[in-house]
């Protein structure tokens, strides 16, 4: 039920509600009909774990919109005279 409310609040993540309802249905079917599960419940649990990661990533992006990870390693410029600069300067001789 909470996933449906989440889908109305965040329509971009409609797939979260759909997958969550399918996982819930798949986990209840063996108990309701007394048959073997159609899908191994380990796969259903993995799908729920995937949804938890998606929702947590969205929560972090919503709470902290200014987080950015640098894509490259910092390299000191040639006019940096600090003692640690020699560790990071790329030499032209390879």
Give tens-digit pLDDT for 13-68: 899 999 999 999 988 888 888 888 778 889 999 999 999 999 999 889 888 888 77
Q: What is the pTM of this model?
A: 0.64
Q: Please tell me the total count of domains within the chain.
A: 1
Q: How far apart are CA 28 and CA 92, in angstroms?
A: 64
CA 1 to CA 11: how far, in whole Å? Answer: 15
Provide the total of helices (H) and of strands (E) in the chain, helices listed first. 4, 0
Evaluate if residue 9 carries a pLDDT over 80.
Answer: yes
CA distance 77 to 85: 8
Q: Please give the residue range of the domain that contains residue 74.
A: 1-94
Q: Work out the pLDDT band at 79, boundaries 50, 70, 90.
A: low
């Amino acid at each position: 039920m909470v996933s449906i409310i989440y889908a109305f609040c965040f329509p971009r993540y409609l797939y979260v509600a759909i997958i969550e309802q399918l996982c819930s249905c798949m986990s209840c079917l063996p108990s309701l009909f007394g048959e073997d599960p159609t899908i191994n419940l380990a796969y259903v649990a993995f799908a729920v774990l995937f949804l938890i990661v998606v929702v947590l990533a969205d929560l972090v992006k919503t709470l902290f919109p200014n987080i950015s990870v640098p894509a490259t390693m910092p390299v000191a410029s040639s006019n940096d005279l600090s003692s640690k600069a020699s560790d990071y300067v790329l030499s032209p001789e390879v």
